[in-house]
Amino acid sequence: MRRFLKQNSTKEVSPVLITILGTTTPEAIKIWFVHQRLQQFIDRPRQCNKCFSFTHPSRVCDKANACYLCGAVHIGPCQQPEKCVNCNGSHNAKSRSCPFYIKEQKILELKCRNHITTGEARRIFQQNTAKYSETVKTMPAVTNLEDTINAKFETLLQAINDKFERQMAIFADMLQKSMDCICQNLCKIIAQFVDPSSSPVRKKKLFSNLHQMSGSVTSFDAGGSNASEDMPLG
């Protein structure tokens, strides 16, 4: 919770820590008829001021005073390059980018959000980390990701091409049946308007040509051009 400030005030103030009995934290409280929202307090990691470890306080540490810059025990200004005593990284022991500091911060956050002790939070965090490490180790390694992606992409294209060809075959069959039906109906219509005075030979030749045209197979190439030949009607 933040302190009360006057409007347009530039004064910097620190948050106010409120202790609430119980394990349930309310979202807000009322103080002097003012509705104040609450934020959960997460403590920062505590370090020993002698050995700069995160596992114990200074009052119980039995080690010699170490330099927080290089981690060695010496007297006077430090002339050595920075080296963390916890992770051996190229930073001092008080750096907030240290993996040990980040780990302790996550443990304290787990403790605060679940209302458990620091020991329980540390044990749960280590168990979760171990499970994650085992999962990463058991994951199959991809030796050649590019070849795998290309193979899957080619398989997908082949499946799409096969499906497209099947659909085109179905469409061509439906079109052929439709054209046959149209030609048959056209033959019937023309037969109704044939001149009765025409010779039997001419009538027979006309019906023969119409029958051949109605039963002809029409083929289409990839460009959609018609490959059937025109047949004379007589």
DSSP 31: E
User: What pLDDT is attached to residue 203?
Assistant: 61
Say if pTM beats, i.e. exceeds, 0.75: no
What pLDDT, in 10s, does the model give residues 168-227? Answer: 999 999 998 888 888 877 777 776 666 666 666 666 666 666 666 555 544 444 444 444
The token pair at 180 is: 């046959």
Kindly tell me if the per-residue pLDDT of 21 is higher than 70.
yes
- The continuous run of DSSP H or E covering 107 comes out as helix 99-114
Q: Which of 205, 204, 209 is nearest to 186 (CA)?
A: 209
Calculate mean pLDDT across residues 20-48. Answer: 81
pLDDT in tens, 36-68: 788 777 888 888 988 998 888 888 998 888 898
Residue 172 covered by a domain = yes
Residue 177 forms part of a structural domain? yes
What are φ and ψ of residue 162, in 5° steps? -65, -45
Is residue 228 in a domain? Answer: no
Residue 205 forms part of a structural domain: yes
- Residue 180 within any structural domain of the chain: yes
Residue 171, domain extent: 143-213
Grade residue 228 by pLDDT with cuts at 50, 70 and 90: very low
Domain contains 234: no
Q: List the one residue out of 98, 91, 46 whose CA is nearest residue 68.
A: 91
Q: Residue 39: inside a domain, yes or no?
A: no
Residue 151, domain member (yes or no):
yes
Q: Provide the 8-state DSSP code for 59.
A: G
Distance in angstroms (rounded) separating the CA atoms of residues 166 and 172: 10
> pLDDT higher for 134 or 230?
134
Distance of alpha carbon 32 from alpha carbon 29, whole angstroms: 10
Query: Based on the structure, what is the number of domains in the chain?
Result: 1
